[in-house]
Amino acid sequence: MKKFNHIDECPQFYTATILGWKKLLKPEKYKIIIIQSLQYLVQEKRVILYGYVIMDNHIHLIWEPTKLYSLKHTQLSFMKFTAQKIKRDLEINHPKVLSNFLVELKDRTYQFWQRNPLCVDLYNIKISIEKLKYIHNNPVKAGLCKTPLEYKFSSAKFYNDLNDEFNFLTRLDDNL
């Protein structure tokens, strides 16, 4: 079993949750904002993305930083960018929904993501695969589909050799 020798060489299981577990990401257009941001991060070689699921109120990712950027910096810019894009759409199309995220803090008026996302370093491939299975089963557990392969916003199809619809994934087992 492969073990990763250094924190910068191992993938990370990352979970970000919408403030108050509100189902802000239920509309497909907001899931697409997350997808486009992940595509950008991969294209710009900021991260390697191994797995993901975008649920209605949270996301799970398995990703790894590249040598070019720190994962902390990438996380912060990812969260800020997606929040700004969603906020712009809410201002134009759904101002009543936007008011549900009013916080009026010193550094912001609105907040979409809960602070302190869960970040767990995955020091070996066995744990990485366990987390991958967990995220693929997340939509099934939530009652959004009967099998992981039915859910569009997940890497499950990619790992079953069906496709990488968004063209941004790397297989975990390719790193062995």
**Under DSSP, is residue 42 helix (H, G, I), strand (E, B) or coil?**
helix
Report the interhelical angle of 28-43 vs 71-93 (nearest 10°): 150
Confidence of residue 34 (pLDDT cuts 50, 70, 90): very high
CB 131 within 8 A of CB 13: yes
- pLDDT of 38 above 70: yes
Confidence of residue 7 (pLDDT cuts 50, 70, 90): very low
Confidence of residue 3 (pLDDT cuts 50, 70, 90): very low
pLDDT average, residue stretch 128-153: 96
Identify the residue with better confidence: 53 or 65.
53
DSSP state of 60: E
pLDDT of residue 2: 45
- pLDDT of 19 above 60: yes
Identify the residue with better confidence: 60 or 107.
60
pLDDT average, residue stretch 2-9: 49
pLDDT of residue 139: 98
pLDDT of residue 175: 56
DSSP state of 67: T
Average pLDDT of the chain, as a whole number:
91
pLDDT of residue 8: 52
What separation, in Å, do the N-terminal and C-terminal C-alpha atoms of the chain show? 8
**Residue 104 and residue 102: Cα distance in Å, rounded?**
6
CA-wise closest residue to 16 among 85, 106, 114, 96: 114
CB 52 within 8 A of CB 131: no
CB 2 within 8 A of CB 124: yes
- pLDDT of 174 above 70: no
Percent of the chain with pLDDT over 70: 93
